[in-house]
Structure formats: C-alpha cells, structure tokens
Homo-oligomer: A and B are copies of this chain.
Amino acid sequence: MSTYEYLLTHEIKPSQQRICLMEFLLKHRIHPTAEEVYSRLSPSMPTLSKTTVYNTLKLFVQKGAAQMLTIDERNACFDADITKHAHFLCKECGKVYDLHEVPSHWQQLPEDTLGHLIDEVQLYYRGTCRKCAEKQAKKKLKPTK
C-alpha cells in the first residue's frame, strides 16, 4: 500500500507535506521529535515550516496514524508504529528505543480502573542504553585523567 493510500485509511487527506512526513516516520523508526523531523526534511523541502510539522504530527496522532511519546521530559517524540509496545529512554544520549521483547501483560487494560475510561497505555523504561553503558565501561578501564 502506498503512503497515499495509507493516509486515506486513517481518514487523513493526503497532501504533499503529509505524505512526506508519514513516509519519513515510516522509514526512520527513530522516534523523532518535531524538531528532528523538521531539520531532517527541510533540506529536501525548502518551504516546509515548523508549524506544518507540528500540525501534521498532531493530526497523525488524532487520527490514530501515529503515537506521541512523553517519555522524554524535554520534548514529545513520535512513532508511526501504532502497535502497543514498550519504550526505553537513554538518559545519557537521549535516544528512544523500542522494547518489543517485554512480555505483553501490561498491554491488557486492568479490570478495576476506579471507573476511569482508559483509551491509551504506555510503558516507559529509563536508564542507560547499551552503547552508552559500553562507552562508560571503557572510560573506567582507561581514564583520560
């Protein structure tokens, strides 16, 4: 299915900008922030504005074509993978990773919700990612001081 058709299945009118943004999200599963999307796309789309990036990402979320992650306190990031899956934030480098290997019990909604109506679940982990942990281990072995 083309991105054009994919947007239609989510009731999103496919404009040039929307297609490019969705294509970017689908291709680069890096959980980009609005800022990142803008800076990566603007070289090839000189007239693209940040406002459009913000508007479009918000539209995708509203229409269920993307999810917004609030795992990073500083800025929201976006994921076109709309299946429920856990996320991991590295506090060192700020990267967000998928964690599909987490057992999926958490995805089921609890029976007792105190009467609240739940329509979204997010499981967030935070810590130090593999790469940063390795970097730190090396530093300890041969310190630069």
| Chain A residues near B (Cβ < 8 Å) | 68, 70-73, 76, 86, 88, 90, 97, 99, 101-103, 105-106, 109-110, 112-130, 133
Q: Are B118 and A125 in contact (CB under 8 A)?
A: yes
Q: Are B133 and A127 in contact (CB under 8 A)?
A: no
Give complex CA distance A97, B33 in Å. Answer: 27
Q: Are A117 and B133 in contact (CB under 8 A)?
A: yes
Q: Are B126 and A124 in contact (CB under 8 A)?
A: no
Give complex CA distance A26, B145 in Å. Answer: 43
Give every chain B residue within 8 A of A127 (Cβ-Cβ).
116-120
Given contacts A73-B68, A76-B73, A106-B123, A114 and B128 within 8 Å (CB-CB): no
Give complex CA distance A106, B125 in Å. Answer: 11
* For the complex of A and B, 8 pairs with smallest distance between CB atoms: A115-B130, A106-B106, A120-B126, A101-B112, A118-B127, A102-B110, A119-B127, A117-B128
Contact of A129 among B70, B116, B126 (CB under 8 A): B116
Q: Are B133 and A126 in contact (CB under 8 A)?
A: no
Q: Are B125 and A97 in contact (CB under 8 A)?
A: no
Q: Are A72 and B70 in contact (CB under 8 A)?
A: yes
23 contacts between A and B (CB under 8 A): A68-B73, A70-B124, A86-B110, A88-B113, A88-B118, A90-B116, A99-B114, A101-B112, A105-B106, A106-B123, A109-B125, A113-B125, A115-B129, A116-B127, A116-B133, A118-B127, A119-B127, A119-B128, A120-B125, A120-B126, A120-B127, A123-B123, A123-B124
